């Protein structure tokens, strides 16, 4: 099938309902556009495992705080369409804000406070409610499917898995490995904001995660010591300002008393204009 752009909920639902009646399996990749190879890797994974692939591009205003970059968030629909087509997407859903929120202000919200209160939630207090609300809406628009998300936004992935389970949404959530540049930097639309010197400095995040993982693999079991090691390493990079560094339980996102099970290393830092996040899973065995 040649990629087809869909702008309305009604048309997308009609197509997908017809495909499900033919017992087609559906893969779904929700995005905010300005696609890169990380997004394309999710689309390729969906294409490999499903009969039909849907991707959405919607810059969701609910996810942006008062001082965040909604107006300047990068957009390039022509380029995005080419990337999606090359990655095997069949239907590209590109709704307007009015299509998604026809009544203007949104009075309904989906929240997972237990998982959203710290880390990214502490810095961006409205972000996860906005994300969970729009993803829930997209899931009900698309219907039963497999939905693909990158592990780079690990806290987001944990929250999505929780509300899908809590609300019995008929979606199988699939987490996919982080796509990285050759120097280790996690791919992100916000990387376009980095100046050349900042781009090089930003690799301190992935280097810090690798160093912390090595410490755990060599026997360090105190999560506070691991976090301090991470903070000290970021402090050696003058262009980076650490927001947080932590070793957490991957299911609860809490800091364990002792690292005696697989853990997730989380890190966030301001590097020039953009605020960057990264993470790494570590087995302590």
Rounded Cα–Cα distance for residues 104 and 276 (Å): 31
Q: Tokens for 64? A: 């942006």
Rounded Cα–Cα distance for residues 40 and 46 (Å): 10
Instruction: For tokens 């800091």, name the residue.
Output: 255
Q: For residue 234, how many other CB atoms are within 10 A of its CB?
A: 20
Rounded Cα–Cα distance for residues 39 and 57 (Å): 11
Query: Which residues have a Cβ under 8 Å from the Cβ of 268 and sit 6 or more positions away?
Result: 119, 120, 123, 242, 243, 244, 245, 275, 276, 277, 278
The reply to whether 39 belongs to the active site is: yes
Collapsing DSSP to helix, strand or coil, 179 comes out as: coil
**For residue 180, what is the DSSP state?**
B
Choosing from 36, 39, 103, 127, which is the catalytic residue? Answer: 39
Distances (CA, A) of 35 to 75, 157, 159: 9, 19, 23
Query: Which residues have a Cβ under 8 Å from the Cβ of 229 and sit 6 or more positions away?
Result: 211, 212, 215, 220
Q: Tokens for 228? A: 């301090």
Active-site residues, by number, are 39
């Amino acid at each position: 099938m040649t990629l087809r752009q869909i702008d309305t909920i009604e048309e997308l639902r009609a197509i997908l309902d017809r495909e499900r009646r033919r017992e087609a399996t559906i893969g779904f990749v929700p995005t905010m556009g300005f696609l890169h190879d990380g997004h394309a890797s999710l689309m390729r994974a969906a294409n490999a495992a499903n009969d039909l692939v849907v991707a959405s591009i919607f810059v969701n205003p609910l996810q942006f705080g008062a001082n965040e970059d909604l107006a300047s968030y990068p957009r390039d629909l022509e380029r995005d369409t080419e990337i999606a087509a090359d990655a095997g997407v069949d239907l590209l859903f590109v709704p307007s804000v009015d299509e998604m929120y026809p009544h203007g202000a949104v009075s309904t919200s989906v929240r997972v406070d237990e998982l959203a209160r710290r880390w990214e939630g502490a810095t961006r207090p409205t972000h996860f409610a906005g994300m969970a609300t729009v993803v829930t809406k997209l899931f009900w628009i698309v219907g039963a499917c497999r939905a693909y998300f990158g592990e780079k936004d690990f806290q987001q992935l944990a929250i999505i898995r929780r509300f899908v389970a809590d609300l019995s949404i008929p979606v199988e959530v699939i987490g996919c490995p982080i796509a990285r540049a050759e120097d280790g930097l996690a791919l992100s639309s916000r990387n376009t904001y980095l100046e050349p010197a900042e781009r090089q400095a930003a690799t301190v995040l992935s280097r810090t995660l690798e160093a912390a993982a090595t410490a755990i693999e060599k026997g360090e079991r105190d999560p506070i010591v691991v976090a301090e090691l991470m903070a000290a390493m970021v402090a050696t990079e003058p262009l980076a300002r650490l927001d947080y560094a932590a070793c957490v339980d991957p299911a609860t996102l809490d800091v364990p008393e002792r690292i005696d099970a697989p853990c997730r290393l989380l890190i966030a830092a301001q590097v020039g204009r953009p605020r960057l996040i990264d993470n790494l899973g570590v087995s302590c065995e």
